Structure 1
Amino acid sequence: MRVEFIKMHGLGNDFVVLDARETPLPAAMTPQVAAALADRHTGIGCDQLIVLEPAKDADFTMRIYNHDGGEVEACGNATRAVGMLAGGNARIATSGGLLETRASEGGIAVDMGEPRLDWDTIPLAYAMDTLSLPVGWDGLEHPVAVNVGNPHIVFFVEDNDVVQLDQLGPEIEHDPLFPDRINVNVATIEDRHTLRLRVWERGAGLTRACGTGACATAVAAMRRGLTEREVTVHLPGGPLVIGWGEDNRITMTGPAAESFRGTFDWSEYS
């Protein structure tokens, strides 16, 4: 059976979207099928595979699989992309909670909900101060931990471009301190309204953009008093605007784009 797909991206963070809202997939998605489709040499190729399904209390459900096939709770860039597919305004159910999108001048704005800041909601293996974890890896020290639908730690450094994130990222991601693994963010504050960010994404590696990473990093900077409550986060793929309102909710605004559409034979990947 041939299955239709849509290739999309948000600031270069790319996705394969399978729309199963009206026509179900031939079989349940598995980590093995997701990884095979995400493979850039023998599959369609993407950072994340997205499956859209019907929902009872939302416009639809979004399931997210990383490049390695592991299912994760949230992806901010993918949320903007599927929000664009839905015409801008949508209520999207995810395993990390309900997300809402709306059209805006900057592209698609996403209400990412409230950050989780307690150690057991990150989660960490044991209790510690999430505003300054007493841990370090090869010069990266005292990170902030934030969960914005998925878990992140954030390091603030003088120049994030010189950090060997391709080497340190996988070591930190799999540290026993993080029972669900962790996304690793390395940021440099430019001024009170601007920061630069690079992200090692759990299950995907170095990425051109990470929406939840931008949200987590902005919240971390705001918690430490380093920035105002709205900032522009510059990632390798481009900028996102992140606001953390007095109502404790995070808003992320940025572009999304459709690249192309096609079909594939399900039996070749299952």
Structure 2
Amino acid sequence: MKLAFTKMHGCGNNYIYFNCFDQTVPDPESLSIKLSEPHFGIGGDGIILISPSDKADAQMRIFNADGSEGKMCGNGIRCVGKYLYDNGMTNGRTTITIDTLSGVKTLELTVKDGKMQSARVDMGAAILAPREIPVDMDGESVISAPIVVDEKVYHMTCVSMGNPHCVIFQKEDVDDLDLTRIGPKFEHHPLFPERVNTEFVNVLPDGSLKMRVWERGSGETWACGTGSCATGVAACLNGFANKNEDIVVHLRGGDLTIRYTDETVFMTGAATTVFKGEIEI
């Protein structure tokens, strides 16, 4: 059986995309594990299925490199928007909707020479209630709360953007972190019943943020859209940034711009098509 695919990335967060309007992808959990492997597969952070929806222009389903299904991917949804527009599936409209496991999201596309260059995504309201994130703590929110990992005390701010995030602001340069060692210990910490994505963040002198991320199910990735949103929200909650102002987040794969309002969180960034191909499974 042959499947057509498109390799795309948003700030280096790279997935393998399948158009399921005209083909069926069997057992996507196992396929994601197989194809994400860089030496024997295509290589990537997982696979994303683009399918018809009765409530939006399309539906996206995300499968991480370990086969687990994700609820939302901020970089992935921009790539889905680009795929739909560039392939003539939006009838030229630059405002489109995508159905995800975290609800329907609206994208405003910026187009040049007939191709989508970037998108502003309405990511929805940030969730701060611990039980809804979820994190096993009491209270109305978790802001700069202590957590002990590997015998060291960190201070975390927890946010859900449709998936759980633990944001750690630190003075030590995040570039010096041994993320492959510490990341899994946060991901599987008993405070997080559904595991967690963890962002390690420096506040730079110009007010922008430098971030590295350990994603549950994928490990370190070059960017995380929902993680950047959570980081922008956490920066406001901790007094490092202001609501209703653009917050630039520097990731290993590029920059995203976040704006946190009382109603929602906006994320703006680019999306890139790398190559197209066909694989026999």
Structure-1-length-normalised TM-score: 0.92
Query: Do 1:83 and 1:89's aligned partners in 2 also have CA atoms closer than 8 Å?
Result: no
Aligned residue identity for 1:51? L
Matching of residue 250 in structure 1 with residue 233 in structure 2: no
| DSSP-derived class of the 2:79 partner | helix
Matching of residue 40 in structure 1 with residue 38 in structure 2: yes
Query: Quick one: which of 199, 207, 214 aligns to 1:185?
Result: 199
Cα 1:143–1:4 change in 2 (3 A) is: same
Query: Quick one: which of 210, 213, 229 aligns to 2:227?
Result: 213
Structure 2: stretches of 5+ with no match in the other structure: 86-93, 112-116
Cα deviation code 1:50-85 (max 9, x no counterpart) = 001111111111000111111010110001111111
| DSSP-derived class of the 2:175 partner | helix
Query: Do 1:243 and 1:251's aligned partners in 2 also have CA atoms closer than 8 Å?
Result: yes
| DSSP-derived class of the 1:177 partner | coil
Query: Do 1:15 and 1:49's aligned partners in 2 also have CA atoms closer than 8 Å?
Result: yes
> Which segment drifts farther, 128-137 or 144-153?
128-137
d(CA) in 1 for partners of 2:96 and 2:3?
24
Structure 1: stretches of 5+ with no match in the other structure: none
d(CA) in 2 for partners of 1:102 and 1:86?
13
**2:253 corresponding residue in structure 1:** 237
Across the aligned residues of Structure 1 and Structure 2, the Cα RMSD in angstroms comes to: 1.6
**1:133 corresponding residue in structure 2:** 145
Query: Do 2:200 and 2:212's aligned partners in 1 also have CA atoms closer than 8 Å?
Result: yes
Query: Do 2:159 and 2:234's aligned partners in 1 also have CA atoms closer than 8 Å?
Result: yes
Aligned residue identity for 1:7? K
d(CA) in 2 for partners of 1:207 and 1:26?
25
d(CA) in 2 for partners of 1:218 and 1:71?
25
Structure-2-length-normalised TM-score: 0.89
Cα 1:220–1:192 change in 2 (3 A) is: farther
Matching of residue 116 in structure 1 with residue 115 in structure 2: no
**1:71 corresponding residue in structure 2:** 69
Query: Quick one: which of 97, 103, 115 aligns to 1:97?
Result: 103
1:135: how far off?
1.4
Q: Count residues in correspondence.
A: 263
> Which segment drifts farther, 218-227 or 96-105?
96-105
% identity of equivalent residues: 38
| DSSP-derived class of the 1:36 partner | helix
